[in-house]
Homo-oligomer: A and B are copies of this chain.
Amino acid sequence: MTTLHPFDPITPGEIQLAAKLLQASFPGVPLRYKKIDTQEPIKKEVVPYVEAERLGKPLPRKPTRLLQVLFHRLDTGAFHKALLNADTRSIVYAKELPKGVQGPADVDEIVEIEQLCLSHPAVQAEVAKLQLPAGATICNDPWIYGTDNANETRRLWQCYMYVIATDHPQNNHYSTPCRFSPVFDGVTKELVRMDYLPSGPDGTSTETQPWKPVETVQYAHDLLDTPLRTDLKPYIVQQPQGPSFDVKGNVVQWQKWRFRVGFNSREGMVIHNLTYDNRNVFYRLSVSEMTVPYGDPRAPFHRKQAFDVGDVGFGLTANQLALGCDCLGHIKYFDGYRADTQGNPVLLKNVICLHEQDNGLQHKHTNYRSGAATVVRNRQLVVQMICTVSNYEYIFAFIFDQAANIELEIRATGILSTVPFDNHKFGTTVPWGTNVGPGVMAPNHQHMFSFRMDPAIDGHNNTVYYEDSVPMPEDENNPYLVGYTTEQTVLGTSGTANTSVERHRVFKIRNDTKINPVTYKPISYKLQTSPSQMLLASPRSFGLKRAQFATKPIWVTKYRDDELFAAGEFTNQSQESEGVEKWAARNESVENDDVVLWHTFGLTHNPRVEDFPVMPMERVSVMLRPDGFFTKNPALDVPQSSQTFNQSTLHPEAAACCGPPAEIQKGKL
């Protein structure tokens, strides 16, 4: 039996085991691995185990350790999925998936397609037509193909081509997009088609012309034509007594919080088994999916719709973080592992970081009679992952504080996905994008995230409801017409709900069996949503059919194993999603039951020119806050903020030139 915890990420040994088991079951067949990872353990096996851990009771049988493998048979090209039992070192199943089901991109495949594209004679012929100046070369970003044809079953890649105008490791090729874009079959490696990109407001395109060099828009400091700022002074975070957290393996303890940091190649960072002061709060928190549809209507851009979780994976694209760049203070890093195409483990170093931060004041009150002030700062614990998805970066952080709040903060940064555009003539614009440089335009797009919350508010049976603030009727109970109350609506069966700013709608997760002794209402956590515009694509479009999670801000489903990803298991070139909308449609009772809450939110991102060549972060956040979970402010016992502890520095005053008269500086004044 393994020494691993059920929530521990996959180990190198398990990757090797999986490859060995599969190879043995396909003797002589060359296999290409796409993914070897843990399979989320079966909840009904895990709950008794983690409950025993929490209560300090004897541990029951450890949940089955399951592994999941996606692979291709190279002899037939067939795509397979296998489930393995690591405890018994056996294959539960290894099944061929239906034709047309496409697995996600993997790191090696992307590099492979990139090279295939660059070395293809047809591409080289187009490059030749560019008549590039000396020193300029070409690169390409292989893009997930997207969907516009219900009969397409090939695995396709659309390569967007760029001129590398400057030989520098941080040259911004997104400033110089080319006007041709080959499409490859990722299995047969054949060139399917050479697309020529539209470069004016209408959809028409032209044959490849000689490249007209333009001034590129660069972000690398070496390549700027202006000097760097010299007036920014160091700001150093010192934790002379070390951090306030304690980490053992993947278990983190900090300020009454305890949780396990999970990692998998698809979601990346996951929070498991979250407790506060040894009370259950959440079973699992993760960003379950995201989609980025573009609003440019012109072919082939209409197919640009990334599902960054399902199509690639935030685990695979997580940055290997470097000390002193991505965080300040005392930093703990977590590693992960992925498999390569041969089934060998690959270390993903420093893919998650953990550190504390100061977030200003948490609470303050001054008794104006006595002048006595209570001041408590808001120390936070940040679990962070930064993902590079080709051009774009996402910074994900789960932020915990001492008042039992949980924040999911997402920052969008990186480089806009650009298209070539004939904007050299003054005034040429399109209504679906922004000119960001000479010959280059950045189309409007949306970033829609799905935050999956599997609650355990003092137990695993919970109820989701929403609460609106509404004026009281204008009757004898409200004679002065200022009364307002709240109105509760229980989401008793699985389904959806809308946010509502007008009604100040708040979603809550309560435990109907635990009544707060002060409020006389069930204990709960509330979700402060981030009300967002939902998908703009037409309900008749593939774009929307594939991402139905992004048509409603709130979904509730009854928990079932294996229902983790809002747009379904396989998103790459999907025809329609098989995700949360299907599970919600079962109309199951979710009242006082094992309910899962999903929140879709995001950004409609109509680029600013200031977002280029690299984008100042756009921040979006949702919060989970206790609401009647405690009987009073849980941060009351945080020590007072004091100069002894904080050691701040007073700014030296310049010699007074026009200060107040001496008599005013003294006495009452």
Contacts and interface: CB of A to CB of B under 8 A. Distances in A.
B386 A364 contact: yes
Across chains A and B, which 6 residue pairs bring their CB atoms closest together, nearest first?
A: A324-B643, A297-B483, A169-B370, A332-B651, A481-B538, A302-B480
A363 interface: yes
Given A237-B235, A610-B634, A393 B374 contact: no
A375 B325 contact: yes
A471 B604 CA distance: 12
B640 A521 contact: no
A235 B239 contact: yes
Nearest to A401: B616
Contacts of A503: 533
B363 A639 contact: no
A111 B368 CA distance: 10
Contacts of A344: 669
B395 A541 contact: no
Contacts of A561: none
A480 B541 CA distance: 6
Interface stretch (A68-76, A90-98, A221-229, A452-460): A221-229
A231 B229 CA distance: 39
B630 A610 contact: yes
B649 A330 contact: yes
A379 to B, nearest CB: 6
Contacts of A332: 651
Nearest to A532: B501
A499 interface: yes
B365 A639 contact: no
A236 B374 CA distance: 20
A236 B604 contact: no
B639 A414 contact: no
Contacts of A371: 169
17 contacts: A232-B379, A234-B240, A234-B645, A297-B472, A328-B646, A333-B651, A362-B413, A364-B395, A374-B614, A434-B519, A434-B628, A471-B538, A480-B542, A502-B533, A516-B609, A610-B633, A612-B632
Interface in A388-412: 388, 390-391, 393, 395, 397, 401-405, 411
Interface string A655-666: 000101100110
Contacts of A426: 520
Interface in A503-541: 503-504, 516, 518-521, 526, 531-534, 536-538, 540-541
A648 B330 contact: yes
A621 to B, nearest CB: 10
Contacts of A643: 322-325
A11 interface: yes
Contact of A483 (B432, B478, B604, B606): B432
Given A139-B369, A231-B255, A345-B660, A636 B219 contact: yes
A365 B414 contact: yes
A368 B390 contact: yes
A237 B356 CA distance: 13
A294 interface: yes
Interface stretch (A30-38, A152-160, A242-250, A585-593): A242-250
A428 B232 CA distance: 58
A503 to B, nearest CB: 7
A648 B297 contact: no
Nearest to A415: B365
A52 interface: no
